Structure 1
């Protein structure tokens, strides 16, 4: 249960940072430019890194690749879930014209609705979570090499 509370805590903190970043972009009207969403991957990866690193520090003897991978996935999925809920709320209740501005910025001539955009935000977050977890685990996995002592 302790390990699960760590992942939930880091997932919530990561989602809070993602939401704060989005709102800071909104202050400068940059949230309608999709290029700035690439930094979301960095924020998510840092949150996953910290969750896995602390899990490894707290339980070094029980830490395995599977445990670390599970910690990273749960952390990222929670962050993505809460950010996606916030995104949906923002686009439908706070700034109703956001979707139109976003489509005008990307010059795509898309004919879609908020459901599809929210689905894309969620899928991008889940994909980022998997890739970031794989990358973090390459840094933090226990080495199978023999020591040279």
Structure 2
């Protein structure tokens, strides 16, 4: 439980960066251009990478793949949920005309409302979190491709040794 603070803190940090970035775009009038949301992936990726790295450092000998993956998920989900809450406040209270300006850019044959936009923001955040967690854990997982791993596998046990 004590290690859960790390991903939650990083998730909150990512959220602050995302909000500042969005508000900066808003001041420049660029927040209605969806192409700029790609930068969100870079911020999310950098924060999640640092989170898993920090988490692994603190867990040291006890670090397992599922621990790092879980830390990445918790970090990303925390950032996504808080950012979606901010975005909800922004599009409903701070700038209610945002949806009217943003949505006509997309040619829909069906009606898309604020709820659909918020659901999309949430879903994209969750999907990004999942993909980044799986990707980053390829860098942080213990490798079987070592002498110790090969000896352990050849001995018939079939499970990789813990990396020390």
- For normalisation by structure 2, the TM-score amounts to 0.85
1:15 and 1:147 map into 2 onto residues whose CA distance is 42
Aligned residues: 148
Structure 1 residue 109 displacement after superposition: 6.3
2:17 and 2:144 map into 1 onto residues whose CA distance is 35
Does 2:101 correspond to 1:89? no
Describe the superposition over 1:102-122 as per-residue Cα deviations: whole angstroms up to 9, x where unpaired: 013334465221111101100
The aligned residue for residue 55 of structure 2 is: 55
The aligned residue for residue 69 of structure 1 is: 69
Instruction: Say which SS state the counterpart of residue 127 (structure 2) adopts.
Output: helix
1:110–1:31 distance in 2 versus 1, CA, 3 Å: farther
Whether the 8 Å contact between 2:103 and 2:112 is mirrored in structure 1 is no
Whether the 8 Å contact between 1:65 and 1:142 is mirrored in structure 2 is yes
Question: Which structure has the greater CA radius of gyration?
Answer: 2
Describe the superposition over 1:44-87 as per-residue Cα deviations: whole angstroms up to 9, x where unpaired: 11111111000111122111110000000000000000000000
Structure 2: gaps of 5 or more residues:
149-164
The aligned residue for residue 43 of structure 1 is: 43
The aligned residue for residue 129 of structure 2 is: 129
The aligned residue for residue 19 of structure 1 is: 19
1:147 and 1:10 map into 2 onto residues whose CA distance is 35
Does 2:31 correspond to 1:31? yes
Structure 1: gaps of 5 or more residues:
none
1:17–1:109 distance in 2 versus 1, CA, 3 Å: farther
- For normalisation by structure 1, the TM-score amounts to 0.93
